[in-house]
Amino acid sequence: MSHILEGKTAFVTGGTGGIGSAICARFAREGAQVIAADLAPPAELPERVEFIAYDVTDENICRNTFHELAARWDKLDILVNAAGIEIEKTIEDTTLEEWNRIFAINVTGMFLTSKYALPLVRKSTAASIINFGSYDGYIADPGLAAYCASKGAVHALTRAMACDHGPEGIRVNAICPGYVDTPMLQSFFGKSGDIESLKQAVRDVHPTRTYGTPEDIANLVNWLASDEARYASGQLWVLDGGLSAQVQQMNL
C-alpha cells in the first residue's frame, strides 16, 4: 500500500458495519490511526484500529467522546459518518417511532457527531469529512421511503457543511453508494424471494455487471480522505457501477 494517510487520525461511525469496517481496515493499511465507533465491538479488529462504544443518537455520548478524544489526539484529520440503518417500508406502513429512529441515526447522528467533532477537526491542516448519502437520495428504491428521505437530507447537509466550513480548511463530501454487498443489502433482498436469481438479475442491470463491495466504497473514501482530493468539496460522489447512468430498463 501507498501509505497515503500516514500521520493522519480518523474517526469512523458505524465502524464495525459492512462498509464501515472495510473503511477502517483500509485507513489502517494506509497508515492512519483509526477509531471504529459503533454500538457493539466486533469479533476482531485490524491492527491500528481501536474500538470505541458510541451511539450517534445520544448527544451526551457524542459530546463526551470528543471531549475525551481531545485529551489524547491533538487533531482529527478524517471524520467518516457511516452509521446508518434502513427500514424497508412505505410511508403508510412506517410508524412515527420508526421514522424518528431512522432520522435520529442517519441525519441527526451525522449532525451531532460532526458538531462535537468540529473543534478537533479544525485543528487539522488538511481535514476531510465524508458523509454517507446514497443513490437513493436521488432516485427511489421501492419500499424504502424514510431511508430515501433521510439520504436526501444527508445530501443537503453535506453541501451546507462544505459551504460553512470550507473557509476553515475543512472539506466535506458525501459518498452515494448504489447496491453494495452488505448485510443491509441482503436484508433488502431477503423479502423478495429467490435470493440467488435475484442477485444475478441485480448484477445484470449494472453496466459493470456486478454490484459493489465494501472495498470498492473504501477505495473512494480513501481517496477523498487523502490530500490527493484537496480540491474536492461539497460534492455527492455516486459510486454505483453505472446503475443510475441509465434509465429504467424494461424486461423485453
Instruction: Out of 147, 179, 211, 231, pick the active-site residue.
Output: 147
Whole-angstrom Cα distance, residue 102 to residue 111?
Answer: 13
In whole angstroms, how close is the CB of 143 to another protein at the nearest point? 24
Residue (109 or 177) nearer to another protein, CB: 177
In whole angstroms, how close is the CB of 119 to another protein at the nearest point? 19
Contacts with another protein by CB under 8 A lie at: 2, 4, 158-159, 162-163, 165-167, 169, 171-172, 206-210, 212-213, 216-217, 219-220, 222-223, 228-235, 237-246
In whole angstroms, how close is the CB of 227 to another protein at the nearest point? 9
Whole-angstrom Cα distance, residue 42 to residue 36?
Answer: 10
Residue 84 near residue 182 (C-beta atoms within 8 A) = no
Residue (69 or 162) nearer to another protein, CB: 162
In whole angstroms, how close is the CB of 60 to another protein at the nearest point? 31
Residue 210 near residue 241 (C-beta atoms within 8 A) = yes
147 is catalytic: yes
Residue (148 or 238) nearer to another protein, CB: 238
Cβ contacts of residue 16 below 8 Å, gap of 6+? 36, 38, 40, 41, 42, 51
Buried b (16+ CB within 10 A) or exposed e, 138-163: beebebbbbbbbbbbbbbebbbebbe
Task: Look up residue 107 and give its three cell numbers.
Answer: 441525519
Residue (4 or 52) nearer to another protein, CB: 4
Positions annotated as catalytic residues are 147
